[in-house]
């Protein structure tokens, strides 16, 4: 009998537990420091404002940005909506153009705003990818015109882990005057993220993906040499210099700063440890499960990601039989229907075979014993399902 604590959590791309050090930093904000940071007329409000501004400075510094370039949001879905819609609308209103470029493998929080822009008369180009999920940079260059105002491409994929060459993409996009946004949600704490090295104009992040709390994120927006001025999506009291109204989530902001500090400090060591575990998971699964295919770009991928497809297996059925290992299927669950995800389909998998996709996300507390346990349970379950299907 294995001594591994169950269920084993291998879904760190979906979300992460809050690090106890982060919780500790947040706790006083629920009780003693509970003020509204906009209520500057008294000491409670001013204390909260100080916490918000101190967190903003620390987050900015960790990303290579200035404090005034950080906008707090409710997470990456909101940051992506604000970046895509806010930039496209502002630039069209300024008469700069109405062409925007993104990619079919982006997160839905970029794809859906792109679809809405299309409905609103923008000219939208969605780049395709090859069978490993790689973007063709020359195809990107060919798509750019003097009418292009925005290029939005993720730094790292939440499904297959691919890391895109954002620096090179930004260089090409800037040549024709487009603004560049990257969704760095999955990259923070796994690969270096510096807005100047990446040369991006906007960057999205979300605390719950790096051991911080849920419901808090940020959008970096560059001030120079390109002065990014976004059309706000959420309007009201004029918080965040009018870019995003709404009372600050002070515990969340303080927690995000603490989590980002830990993520940056511990990145190198943690990534090395986790990628060794991921490599072990990959080779053990290949040994144990016949026909298993590894998805994505194995040379440029997140250290904690493994996406595999097991043809002729239904990922959802597999997960239902696997209640002591938490992984994600490669399906996009929209309300009550499960279908093969748009990312897996973009690699060329059909709806049927693509359903056998599993996404593993390893993290800060993943152990070797957990990996061995997961491999054993998976192999056993796949063999059981295969035996049933031959029956």
Ligand X SMILES: Cc1ncc(COP(=O)(O)O)c(C=O)c1O
Residues marked active site are found at 333
**CB of 271 or CB of 341, closer to ligand X:** 341
* DSSP code, position 29: G
Residue 184: how many other CB atoms lie within 10 Å: 26
**CB of 19 or CB of 49, closer to ligand X:** 19
Spatial neighbors of 8 by CB under 8 A, at least 6 apart, are 324, 325, 326, 370, 373, 374
The dihedral formed by the CA atoms of 270, 366, 186 and 282, expressed in degrees to the nearest 10: 100
Binding site for ligand X (CB under 6 A): 75-77, 80, 107, 109, 154, 158, 183, 185-186, 206, 217
Position closest to ligand X via CB: 75
Shortest separation between residue 265's beta carbon and ligand X, angstroms? 22
Shortest separation between residue 103's beta carbon and ligand X, angstroms? 12
190 in Cβ contact with 156 (< 8 Å): yes
What's the rounded Cα separation, in Å, for the pair 339 and 328?
A: 13
**CB of 57 or CB of 214, closer to ligand X:** 214
Shortest separation between residue 217's beta carbon and ligand X, angstroms? 5
**CB of 189 or CB of 217, closer to ligand X:** 217
DSSP 83-126: HHHHHHHHHHHTTS--EEEEETTS-HHHHHHHHHHHHTT-EEEE
What's the rounded Cα separation, in Å, for the pair 170 and 78?
A: 22
What's the rounded Cα separation, in Å, for the pair 327 and 334?
A: 18
Written as six digits, the tokens of 111 are 């794809």
Residue 41: how many other CB atoms lie within 10 Å: 8
Shortest separation between residue 106's beta carbon and ligand X, angstroms? 8
């Amino acid at each position: 009998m294995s001594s591994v604590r169950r269920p084993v959590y291998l879904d760190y791309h979906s979300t992460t537990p809050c690090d106890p050090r982060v919780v500790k930093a947040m706790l006083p904000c629920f009780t003693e420091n509970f003020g509204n940071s906009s209520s500057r007329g008294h000491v409670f409000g001013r204390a909260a404002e100080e916490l918000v501004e101190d967190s903003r400075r620390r987050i900015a510094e960790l990303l290579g940005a200035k404090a005034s370039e950080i906008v707090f949001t409710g997470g990456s879905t909101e940051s992506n909506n604000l970046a895509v819609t806010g930039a496209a609308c502002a630039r069209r209103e300024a008469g700069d153009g109405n062409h925007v470029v993104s990619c079919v493998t982006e997160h839905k929080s970029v794809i859906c705003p792109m679809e809405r822009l299309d409905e609103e008369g923008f000219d939208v180009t969605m780049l395709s990818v090859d069978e490993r999920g790689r973007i063709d940079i020359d195809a990107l260059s060919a798509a750019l015109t003097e009418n292009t105002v925005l290029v939005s491409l993720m730094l790292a994929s939440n499904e297959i882990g691919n890391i895109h060459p954002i620096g090179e993409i930004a260089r090409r996009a800037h040549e024709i005057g487009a603004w560049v946004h990257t969704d760095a949600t999955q990259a923070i704490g796994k690969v270096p993220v510096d807005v100047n090295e990446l040369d991006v104009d906007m960057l999205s992040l979300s605390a719950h993906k790096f051991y911080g709390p849920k419901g808090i994120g940020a959008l970096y927006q560059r001030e120079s040499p390109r002065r990014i001025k976004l059309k706000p999506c959420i309007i009201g009291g004029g918080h965040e210099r009018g870019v995003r109204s709404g009372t600050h989530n002070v515990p969340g902001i303080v927690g995000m700063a603490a989590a980002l500090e830990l993520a940056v400090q511990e990145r190198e060591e943690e990534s090395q440890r986790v990628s060794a575990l991921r490599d072990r998971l990959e080779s053990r699964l290949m040994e144990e499960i016949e026909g298993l295919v590894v998805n994505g770009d194995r040379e440029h991928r997140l250290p904690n990601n493994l996406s595999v497809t097991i043809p002729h297996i239904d990922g959802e059925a597999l997960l239902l039989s696997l209640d002591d290992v938490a992984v994600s299927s490669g399906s996009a669950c929209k309300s009550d229907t499960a279908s093969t995800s748009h990312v897996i389909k973009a690699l060329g998998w059909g709806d049927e075979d693509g359903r056998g996709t599993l996404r593993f996300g390893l993290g800060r507390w993943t152990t070797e014993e957990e990996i061995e346990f997961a491999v054993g349970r998976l192999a056993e379950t796949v063999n059981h399902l295969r035996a049933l299907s031959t029956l």
